[in-house]
Structure 1
């Protein structure tokens, strides 16, 4: 079967995903058509089906790739103290998500548009990431350096707090990324420390 003119699997496939990511983040999954994605890539709409079965599969692929990259990059330092592991988690989460604002937006805002089976897979990946942080909080509580009433609630609160940085931080703004990481680590540390306040 002849390949569509201007289409190369190693080039067009990533371009399809990149275009879909940007369009989903800008307009929302429901408002974007396969024809719009094709126009952004510069191919005929029918050519997209060489790279993805349908729009739902494309959304799932984007979310799954994001979560798998996140889990693969997560620092693994079981020999460090709980406080150091928590600091590393805070700094990592902010830096990783800062570089991927569209993927972060889609990962949170488009969960409702996943088919049930796809939702289950993504929810499982999210739970693995949450468990990594909750494990750190439990270790800190066991060491006596953290005081957390409910580690699950604290986990979700910390992740939501850190993820929020992507909505307002700008590299050209008043604070550097490092300065933001420093301040957020200070707030998180005080939040989970015995007698701490933010």
Structure 2
């Protein structure tokens, strides 16, 4: 028997998540209903519950998936430069690792504007349990940068008073590119990377 348009068989988890991501980024999590998400996908609202228990689970899944992808992509891009304290990794070249982190963060986020926006703006709407899960992943990423900075200080390459605070400040600065960068703007992404790497170098000193 042919499937009816709009039947459960026509929905996929990715389609539901894509619709939720776009709507949350455009209108804000609190303003979006499951009915609106269903309309975006083109199905009845009840069909969504075959793919997610509720709207909160959708938000958490989107944020966790973004962080999982970020962590995996960072590790895969240059494994010899990624410092993972949990694995007892060391940083052979703090400067090279810092440059890689800077450029990677800008490139990765530039093509994921909606996911980045939600990851920062909708933390307040997570339940306590979901917040802890997302925050743990964020801290893993922050710790990678902090480890690079500490290695640079130990090697005499960086001059910063507090690596942890510096790591948080640098990530905030790099993530800020998403608030203004446009592909059709006067600067290419490569030029933006170069400018920001220059600012990061000045921040760490030496």
Give TM-score scaled by structure 2 length: 0.89
**Offset at residue 49 of structure 1 (A):** 0.2
Any unmatched runs of 5+ in structure 2?
Answer: 82-90
**Offset at residue 52 of structure 1 (A):** 0.3
Greater Cα shift, 64-73 or 78-87: 78-87
For the pair 1:98 / 2:110, whether they are aligned, the reply is yes
**Offset at residue 13 of structure 1 (A):** 1.3
Partner of 2:193: 181
Counterpart selection for 1:81 from 93, 102, 109: 93
* CA offsets 1:80-112 (integer angstroms, 9 cap, x no match): 510000000000000000010000000000000
* CA offsets 1:8-65 (integer angstroms, 9 cap, x no match): 6685211100000000000000000000000000000000000100000000000000
Give the Cα separation in 1 of the matches to 2:188 and 2:131: 35
* CA offsets 1:142-171 (integer angstroms, 9 cap, x no match): 110001100111001000000000010011
Counterpart selection for 2:164 from 152, 155, 165: 152
Partner of 2:148: 136
Query: 4+ runs of 1 displaced by more than 3 Å?
Result: 3-11
Report 1:22-171 matches (<5 A).
22-74=22-74, 75-78=78-81, 80-171=92-183
Give the Cα separation in 1 of the matches to 2:165 and 2:190: 27
> Which SS does the other structure have where 2:80 is aligned?
coil
Give the Cα separation in 1 of the matches to 2:10 and 2:194: 40
Give the Cα separation in 1 of the matches to 2:7 and 2:197: 46
- How many aligned positions are there? 192
Give TM-score scaled by structure 1 length: 0.93
CA RMSD of aligned residues (A): 1.6
Greater Cα shift, 5-14 or 182-191: 5-14
